Structures are given as C-alpha cells and as structure tokens.
Amino acid sequence: MPDVPDASNAPPRLLVVGATGVLGGAAADALARRGDAIFLAGRDRERLASAARRLKAGSAPCDAYDLDGMAALPRLAAEAMGGLDGVLVAIGAVAFGPAEETSAAVTEHLFAVNTLAPIAVLSAALPLLHPPGTLAATTGVVAVRPQPRMAAYSASKAALSAWLTAVAAERRRTGLSVADLHLPHTDTGLAGRAVAGSPPPLPRAAPLEETVDRIVAAFHPEPSAGGPSAGGPPGT
C-alpha cells in the first residue's frame, strides 16, 4: 500500500507504460493536461526523455523481454509520485499473414509484448494501487473479434483480455476499475511497423482524438461515455 494516502480531490497518480508510442504518448499528454500526475515508461530512450521533459514527469526505460524490469515499474512510479492510483499499459506489437506462415518466433514475440509484459506490470501494480485504483490496457477490438491474417495478434490480445476479466472478478469487492480497452483501428502507423507480414485491407481508421478520449475515459469516466469496451471497427 502506498505511504501517502490520496485526498479525495487530489489528481490521480498514473503510470503510463508505452508512453513512447503514438497512443500511449497522446494519452499521457491528455491525462497530464487534465492535471493528473504521470510517470512514464517506454522502450525508446530518446522519445522517453523527450516526453518526460515535455510533461516534467518522472520516467523509466522498459523492455517487454525483461519481465522483472516490467514488474518493477509500478514500484518506481509509486516511489516517484508518493503513491499510485492507476496504470495504463499501451505497449504492443502486430504481425500479419496466414497462420501457417506465422513463425513460432513471431508468435512468441507477440505474446511477450502483448500478453506477458502487460500482465507483469499490471499484476505488480495490484498490491500498490491506492484503492479503488484503475488498471487499463490497450487490447483492441481483435480481442473479442479475432481477425483473419491476424491470428497470433488476436490471440495475444484475447489472452490479455481474459486475464483482465479474471482480475476484475477477483477484485470486484475492492472497487478496482479494470478497463479492457477494445480500441478500434486507428491510424498510428502501427500496421506499418508490423514485425512480420503486410496488413490486409483495414477498416476506416477511427480519429486519433476519439481513441485517445476512450483511453482517458478509463481514468476519468464521464456519465455519458460508452465505456472502454464499446467496440468499433476491428483492425490492429
């Protein structure tokens, strides 16, 4: 449990993992604009340092293949901010192509980045969150509507989604809010950074601001919001 209790009107103290990416970076900016305290984590050290300077935020580098390092992030964030109220995990990698052409190494990579690393961060955050706390992760519509030519990506996101669902049930009585963000396809360039294959025709992209609003709403729910799992066109 964090040492400094949260006053009811104090801004939430949030860890954003994947703050070097398009969605994670834009969400960190939007949350900071609302006055939230942010601690950033990301793989690309230059982009991480630049985001930390811009937001005057603490930061730590991370790599999905270092699960102990991923699990250490919530503690680092809580120490830097005097407590922790929520975590957003927005790291991810995609691959395309028919299942028989997707190598075991690519599938392993997708599960490392999309499933194992997020679970390492989020489970390490559970004992540190100031109650009730919020956990959010960018799974995508593919977690509930797996897409052809994206079998391994869809499966890795569905696995994270199942983990989030089980944790939400475990923690229901504590009031923990768990946002399984079934984000629609959004033109962030992610498809062009695929680790294998080339994308099939993708649905029309949702505007970036709308997708970022969905992420922000996980931490600042509005009465009129459709909720984090409202869906949309599939894709990445």
Ligand X SMILES: NC(=O)c1ccc[n+]([C@@H]2O[C@H](COP(=O)([O-])OP(=O)(O)OC[C@H]3O[C@@H](n4cnc5c(N)ncnc54)[C@H](OP(=O)(O)O)[C@@H]3O)[C@@H](O)[C@H]2O)c1
Residue 137 pairs in a beta bridge with 89, 180
Provide CB contacts within 8 A for 21, sequence distance 6+. Answer: 42, 90, 91, 92, 188
Decide if 8 contacts 87 (C-beta within 8 A). no
Q: State the minimum distance, in angstroms, from the CB of residue 169 to ligand X.
A: 23
Q: Of residues 9-48, which lie at the interface with ligand X (CB under 6 A)?
A: 18, 20-24, 42-44, 47
Burial 97-132 (b: 16+ CB within 10 A, else e): beeeebeeebbebbbbbbbbbbbbbbebbbebbbee
User: Does 213 interact with ligand X (rule: CB under 6 A)?
Assistant: no
- Integer Cα distance of 179 and 161 in angstroms: 9
Q: Of residues 184-203, which lie at the interface with ligand X (CB under 6 A)?
A: 185-186, 188, 190, 193
Q: State the minimum distance, in angstroms, from the CB of residue 50 to ligand X.
A: 11
Binder among 95, 113, 120, 150 for ligand X (CB under 6 A) = 113
Q: Which residue, 93 or 95, is less far from ligand X as judged by CB?
A: 93
User: Does 159 interact with ligand X (rule: CB under 6 A)?
Assistant: no
Q: Which residue, 83 or 194, is less far from ligand X as judged by CB?
A: 194
Provide CB contacts within 8 A for 214, sequence distance 6+. Answer: 181, 183, 228, 230
Number of residues that bind ligand X (CB under 6 A): 28
Q: State the minimum distance, in angstroms, from the CB of residue 42 to ligand X.
A: 4
- Integer Cα distance of 10 and 220 in angstroms: 13
Q: In this chain, which stretch among 6-14, 57-65, 80-88, 166-174 interacts with ligand X, using CB under 6 A?
A: 57-65
Binder among 12, 140, 228, 232 for ligand X (CB under 6 A) = 140
- Integer Cα distance of 45 and 84 in angstroms: 23
Q: Which residue, 42 or 197, is less far from ligand X as judged by CB?
A: 42
Residue 186 pairs in a beta bridge with 206
User: Does 158 interact with ligand X (rule: CB under 6 A)?
Assistant: no
Q: Which residue, 43 or 130, is less far from ligand X as judged by CB?
A: 43
User: Does 120 interact with ligand X (rule: CB under 6 A)?
Assistant: no
Provide CB contacts within 8 A for 210, sequence distance 6+. Answer: none
Q: What are phi and psi of 198, to 5 degrees?
A: -125, 150
Site residues for ligand X per CB under 6 A: 18, 20-24, 42-44, 47, 62-64, 90-93, 113, 138, 140, 183, 185-186, 188, 190, 193, 235-236
